[in-house]
Amino acid sequence: MKRLLTTAALACALVVPAAADARYREIGAVDSSVKPSCPADPCQAIGRVTGYMNRLGSRKKPFRIPHSGYITAWTIHLGAPDASQIDFFTNLFGGPSQARVGIVRPGKKRKRQGRAHRLLQQTPVEELDDYFGSSPTFALAKPLRVKPGNYVALTVPTWAPALGLGLARDNSWLSSRQPDCENVSQRAATQSVGGIRHYGCAYRTARLLYSVTYVPDPRPTKR
C-alpha cells in the first residue's frame, strides 16, 4: 500500500507543472508549412523596419494583446542565406542581422500617412547571424508588461531573413514605412521608446516569421 501511495503522489507531482504551464500562450505561432524565403533565389529579407501581422488567414489582429499580462520570450524563424546573400544584405542595410520585439500602441484615428503608433517598450537587440537556419527563442530577463489593445511588433534595425512569401492574400502585415512602400532600404525601424511613427504601408501574401510567449494576468475567482 505504501508503494502505491508513493507512486500516486509522484504522478500528481508530475501533473502540477503541466497545469501551471497551461497559462502560457504563444501569440503568432508559425505553421511549419511557412518557410523563410532564404536561401531561395531571389532571397528576400526584412530590412530597417518595424511591423506586425495584421491578419493571419481567418485571424484578424493576431498580435493584439487581449488581456493585461507579460511577454516573457520571443522567437524568430530564420532562413539560411548563403555567403553571397549575407554579404549583399549586410552591405545594403549597414550591418549584421539583428532583431528585437517592441510593444506599440496604435492611435484611434487613421490619417493619410497611416495610423500613428507609439513605442511603449522593447527588448534588447539580438544578433542573429549565429542562428541562421533555426528558430531561436530569446527569454527576457525583464518581461514586458502589456495591456489590452497593445500590439507586439518585430523591429529589424538592419536585416533579418525571417520573411515568408507566396502566401494567400489574407496574410498581411503592417509596417512603419511611409510614404514610399517600395523603398525597403529607408530607415523606418522604431527604436526610440515614447516615439511616434505612422504605419503607412501594408503588405499582402507575406508573413513576418516571429512569435511571442505571453502570460495573461490570473483572473480573480473571489466575488
Quote the pLDDT of residue 100: 98
Its pTM stands at: 0.87
Read off the DSSP letter of residue 18: H
What residue ranges in 16-136 does DSSP mark as E strands? Answer: 25-27, 46-56, 59-60, 69-76, 98-111, 114-122, 126-127
Residue 7 reports pLDDT greater than 70: no
What are the domain boundaries of the chain?
A: 38-216
Per-residue pLDDT, averaged over 15-30, amounts to 65
Residue 10 reports pLDDT greater than 70: no
Of the CA atoms within 13 Å of residue 108, those in its CB half-sphere come to: 0
Residue 158 reports pLDDT greater than 90: yes
Per-residue pLDDT, averaged over 129-148, amounts to 97
For residues 209 and 78, what is the distance between their CA atoms, to the nearest angstrom?
8
Q: First-to-last CA distance in the chain?
A: 42
pLDDT tens-digit readout, 52-68: 999 999 999 999 999 99
pLDDT tens-digit readout, 175-192: 999 878 988 889 999 999
Quote the pLDDT of residue 185: 83
Per-residue pLDDT, averaged over 93-115, amounts to 90
β-strand partners of 208? 163
